[in-house]
Amino acid sequence: MSPAEIRDEIIDILNDIAPDEDLSELKDEIAFREQLELDSMDFLDIVMELRKRHRVQIPEEDYEALASMQSTVNYLEPLMKDI
């Protein structure tokens, strides 16, 4: 997947997890938690959804790499390059 495709996939997952959030103004470099009403369970839902949809395993110690859209795309790009 390209970075743009990964970003679109994350937006799709966020839409499922937080359907009431307006994602049209989401800034890539600012942490999700600063922009959205996400709690720790919502964050785990993102990780679980990536695992379910794409079989991407993200170790707990790497969760902080998923703080913002940009850091998430950067982290996932090598893991999802062949998807």
The whole domain housing 25 covers: 3-77
Virtual CA dihedral for 72, 74, 75, 78, nearest 10 degrees? Answer: 140
pLDDT at position 20 is 92
Catalytic residues: 39
pLDDT at position 83 is 83
Virtual CA dihedral for 8, 65, 45, 73, nearest 10 degrees? Answer: 10
pLDDT in tens, 16-72: 999 999 999 999 999 999 999 999 999 999 999 999 999 999 999 999 999 999 999
Instruction: Judge whether 82 lies within some domain.
Output: no
Instruction: Judge whether 83 lies within some domain.
Output: no
Instruction: Judge whether 38 lies within some domain.
Output: yes
Bridge partners for 31 per DSSP: 68
Scanning the structure block, which residue is given the tokens 């049209």?
A: 24
Bridge partners for 68 per DSSP: 31
Instruction: Judge whether 26 lies within some domain.
Output: yes
Give how many domains the chain has, as a whole number. 1
Instruction: Judge whether 15 lies within some domain.
Output: yes
Cα separation, 55 vs 52, in Å, equals 6
CATH number of the structural domain spanning residue 55? 1.10.1200.10
